[in-house]
Amino acid sequence: MLFGCSSVYKNLQPAAGDLSSLEKFKPNFKSALYKTEVDVIGHHLSGLLLIKTLPDSSVRMVFSNEMGFKFFDFEFRSDTGFKVYYVIKQMDKKAVITTLQKDFELVMMHKMDDKTAYVRKDGSNLYYVFPQQKGYNYYITNLSGSELIRMERSSARKPIVQAIMRNYSNGIPDTIGITHKNFSFTIGLKRIER
């Protein structure tokens, strides 16, 4: 019981870290197409996710299946706005949309307010912590800051979502993985060369 209430982050030590060192991990989705696999509570969904930055610097994400049927079309604005252009009825639930919004904001490295951010460390990693309206976004690098180990959306005590971005090419990660810890929900993205 005692263990259940303690925070997995409680042993982290205050540390000095340069927030700007995260900039190099921020994906630059000029236009990228990903083969996408979603597994949610026993259901499997596959399709294509197109991520494109428009001239006004907003990012659009369109997810459709391989045969062209669209599941959703979201817009993420650089000023942290979010708009649903389209979502199929089966997914049109506030909890689903908010979850996807927050997951992708974590990956796109949005909502990183320098003024409230702080840095922690343990024996092997640096933890860049960005308090959110509810919970925290963590960007975890190695101690030298050269490698992004993982990203986390967390409560005060433990991660709710863990995500990775690997193998960048021209600022675009080749592989993106998002895993929810409190229920069975994963999103896997693998870039398709066109």
Partner 1 sequence: MCRLILILFIMSCCLSLKAQEYTPVSDVTRFKDQFAVTAKKIETIKSDFTQEKNLSMLSEKIVSKGKFWFKKDNLLRMEYTKPFDYLMILNKDNIYVKDGKNETKVSTRSNKIFQQINKITVDCVQGTVLSNPDFKTRILENKNNYLVELSPVSKGLKEFFKTIKVYIDRKDYAVNTIEMDENSGDDTTLHFTNRELNTTIPDALFTIK
User: How many CB atoms lie under 10 A from the CB of residue 136?
Assistant: 19
User: How many CB atoms lie under 10 A from the CB of residue 189?
Assistant: 23
Q: Cα separation of 96 and 69, whole Å?
A: 19
Q: Cα separation of 71 and 147, whole Å?
A: 33
Instruction: Give the bridge partners for 154, in sequence order.
Output: 136, 159
Nearer to partner 1, 4 or 68 (CB): 68
Choose one: 3-11, 28-36, 142-150, 156-164; the region binding partner 1 (CB under 8 A).
28-36
Please report, as residue ranges, which positions from 80 to 99 form the binding site for partner 1 (by CB under 8 A).
Answer: 85-86, 88-89
DSSP secondary structure code for residue 183 in this structure: S
**Options 56, 79, 114, 193; binder of partner 1; rule CB under 8 A:** 193
194 binds partner 1 (CB under 8 A): yes
Name the phi and psi angles at 17, rounded to 5: -155, 150
**Options 19, 21, 60, 84; binder of partner 1; rule CB under 8 A:** 60
- Give the interface with partner 1 as residue ranges (CB under 8 A): 31, 33, 35, 37, 44, 46, 48, 50, 52, 54, 60, 62, 64, 66-70, 73, 85-86, 88-89, 192-194
